[in-house]
Structure 1
Amino acid sequence: MSSKFPEGVLACTGLGKAYTIYARPEDRLKEWLKGGHHGDTFWALRDVSLSIRPGQTVGIIGRNGSGKSTFLQMVAGILNPTEGVLHTRGRIAALLELGTGFNPEFTGRENIRLGASLLGLDPDTIEARIPDIAHFADIGHFFDYPVKLYSSGMHARLAFALVAHVDADLLIVDEALAVGDAAFSQKCMRFMREFRNRGTLCFVSHDAAAVINLCDSALWLDHGKLQAFDDARSVCREYNAMMLGQTRQQGIHRSGGRILPPPVVTEIPEPLLTAPVTEWPDCFLDTVDLVDETGASVHALRGGERLSLQLSGRIDKSDPSLNAGFIFKDRLGQALFGALTDVTLNAHCDADGSFEARFIFDLPMLRAGDFSFTAILASQCDHSLIVRARRDEAFVVRLDPQRVTHGLLPIPVEVDYRVVSRVHNFRKSES
């Protein structure tokens, strides 16, 4: 690597990728036989210069066709630049198009061996990690079936399980989580949050909220050009303003005709989800169930129901500050709400430490999608929270609101309108 970029995991100057588009098939043959140029040049990416430092988490945003995948394919070594200089260092693991690099005739196990060896792992290390990879993918006996029999979701599981276990210095994830179920998507988001502590991450998404939640920086590409590369929140704000047809100045929050400075938002980490689990003897969660007012277990909901989340397990009674709790998460693993017991479990359990806890709440009105509950046992020690046991995605539900949802929250809105015509005149209200 050139000494010009001694610190960056990735650095490029004047990077560009061009393709030739031919109006007719014979134009390609003429160019090959006679030379010259017989087509139009299309620049998928041009004049991109940036540097990504070790440990940086970069979200890459932009409309379809903006050059995001082209940029990442060059970083991963799949495409060669047409112009400019690109430098990378360390091991790069890329999760781009589903199934890229997999031989459809090979089994999942065989493809893992092949893919891990291409990423530089020795055979002994690969064999030692295959059980963990198979557990992460969680595709059961299909792990030993040919990949050509896999669904798109199983492709995603196998591919992510591979890149999660190859000790990458730079991890690239390009919209591959869109096909997975809620539990798998949250498992991947949880891994990427943990990966930020030891590596560099490039994450492509059309969801600005996911970029802000996961990344410290954002790279905005538009029509193959670099528009912005800065703090994730400010770049996403400008991107959203552009998508709404506003200028950057119009995208700034306004009140009463007065331009206000951008709000100062401090990200508060959720220790119940991010803290490592410090195991405690005989401390575990057994069952997690969500029931309605009739006591029936429910997985499909409309929103607004009165529900009861029931937890049971066992604790070590010597811990005087242990509490049970839960976190309700969306598809991307973002905590929406949660609670801990008001009193410690020590004084409210059986002689053998068995306990039951119940949380009763009204489910918010939410847009359609998959959500999950994470169950937790945690104790307060010296003003800090210590997680003793945690079951991620312990209970998964699907919400399907009765009415079409616009936006993130389907808040009931009363509609009042009047129709006037020569024939009749009536007024109607609905909510």
Structure 2
Amino acid sequence: CYQIYRRPSDRLKQALSRWRKKYYREFWAVRDISFSVARGESVGIIGRNGSGKSTLVQMIAGTLAPTEGAIRVRGQVSALLELGAGFNPEFTGRENIYLAGSIRGLSRKRVNELFDDIVEFADIGDFLDQPVKTYSSGMYVRLAFAVAAQVRPDILVVDEALAVGDVFFKQRCHRYMREDLRDTTKLLVTHDLNAVANHCDRAIVMSRGTIAFEGPPLDAIAFYTKIMHTERFATQARPKTPGEFRGANSADATPAERSLPWVDVTEEKRSGAGEGEAVRAIQPDDPFACHFEIDVTVPKTDLIFGVPINDRFGKSVCGDNSLSLRHGSIDCPDPGRYLVRADFVWPELHPGQYTATFGVGEGRHAIHHTVQCWAHNVVALTAIAPRRPVHGLFTNPMKDVRISRIG
């Protein structure tokens, strides 16, 4: 709980007040939450800015003390919180390695043993002997993560640190956490939903200082996406459990093979009203059409319809919307039920399970754009590639190969 004062002088008044009159208002950054994390488990923590994520992990790391309640931590915690935390900007990178090691309770002998591995992982070259105040934000993170991870803690806390830095370093960090730190408990605070889907066993959605949802990563991502697109859930998010809310994913969406004629999109799986059609297994270059109905209660103009396709991790891999067609405004001039059909050609994607999301928006310009409906992952698709293997996420066709002798 933080004390928020309207004026600086109110702090002095509060200190001198005999009757303990409150010259401040209380702001609870985190309140009434309870959860546990098992050894070796990876938990993602997501939520809007200001939802209490950073405050929560700072209390777990021990840099903040809770106003009420208790936090029980068993094991050594290595935390990578705000950028540059634990570093002295006047020290060189080499000196800060020893400083950060001592802060984490390591002896100089132990830091000497880890030094080469830390330097190799950070990969900052000659900058190692330069003051860290001359480092870029990416170099800061390289060195900080190398120190935090190479000490092999029992609990690793990462708060948005991997948001900076190049893609190759991010991949190396995630691979290291997945392979070398498989027995380490990991708490990952991030806005990168793909990282949560790929690297976490469980996810927590924070909203207004409380846990709004806790459960499987894909369900948590669906819930988080919902509160991001729906004002009602953004302002009135209430605690939910997997029993109360299940975002559709490749496991619980309507299977493509069942070939059901229509699929109701329940309120718990969408933002707005909508229905979707089940589709059979599909292969590259197959034409397919998505049909869904919309209920229009008031006349609408300049509507936009979109269908993004997600993989089994919840990562958006392809899709399009009606803006790309450039055939003018799409209007529903009268209230009623309308049938929308979107035609596509299936791309050469890696075989596996995919899900389709249906979206309806109004207004072409960002300032005036309104999301009217966002039905998350409501139809499952089984992609096959019988003609040739797909290397990677999709095939980028090779047009030609030529060879010529140059020496």
For residues 234-313 of structure 1, the aligned pairs below 5 Å read 234-245=219-230, 252=248, 256-259=262-265
Change (3 A) 1:410 1:23: same
Give, in whole Å, the separation in 1 of the partners of 2:115 and 2:57: 27
Q: For residues 221-258 of structure 1, what are the alpha-carbon distances to aligned partners after superposition, in whole Å with 9 as ceiling and x for unaligned? A: 10001112222222222222222218787965688353
- Kept in 2: contact 1:93–1:172 (CA 8 A): yes
1:115 corresponds, among 96, 100, 124, to: 100
Query: How far did residue 203 of structure 1 move?
Result: 0.6
- Kept in 1: contact 2:219–2:246 (CA 8 A): no
Which sections of structure 1, spanning at least 5 residues, go unmatched? 1-17, 263-406, 420-431
1:414 corresponds, among 295, 314, 325, to: 325
For residues 10-409 of structure 1, the aligned pairs below 5 Å read 18-34=1-17, 36=20, 37-245=22-230, 252=248, 256-259=262-265, 409=318
- Kept in 2: contact 1:45–1:71 (CA 8 A): yes
Which sections of structure 2, spanning at least 5 residues, go unmatched? 234-243, 255-260, 270-315, 331-407
Change (3 A) 1:53 1:251: closer
Q: For residues 324-363 of structure 1, what are the alpha-carbon distances to aligned partners after superposition, in whole Å with 9 as ceiling and x for unaligned? A: xxxxxxxxxxxxxxxxxxxxxxxxxxxxxxxxxxxxxxxx
Give, in whole Å, the separation in 2 of the partners of 1:110 and 1:169: 24
1:94 partner SS: strand
TM-score (norm 1): 0.56
Give, in whole Å, the separation in 2 of the partners of 1:180 and 1:151: 9
Give, in whole Å, the separation in 1 of the partners of 2:319 and 2:225: 21
Segments ≥4 residues shifted beyond 6 Å:
246-250
Corresponding residue pairs, total: 259
Give, in whole Å, the separation in 2 of the partners of 1:28 and 1:222: 29
- Kept in 1: contact 2:43–2:203 (CA 8 A): yes
Of Structure 1 and Structure 2, which has the larger fraction of its residues in strand?
1
Give, in whole Å, the separation in 2 of the partners of 1:79 and 1:68: 13
Counterpart of 1:92 in structure 2: which amino acid? V
- Kept in 1: contact 2:218–2:247 (CA 8 A): no
TM-score (norm 2): 0.59
Give, in whole Å, the separation in 2 of the partners of 1:83 and 1:139: 42
Moved more, 233-242 or 157-166: 233-242
Give, in whole Å, the separation in 2 of the partners of 1:207 and 1:233: 13
Query: How far did residue 118 of structure 1 move?
Result: 1.8
Moved more, 141-150 or 58-67: 141-150
- Kept in 1: contact 2:33–2:211 (CA 8 A): yes
- Kept in 2: contact 1:21–1:42 (CA 8 A): yes
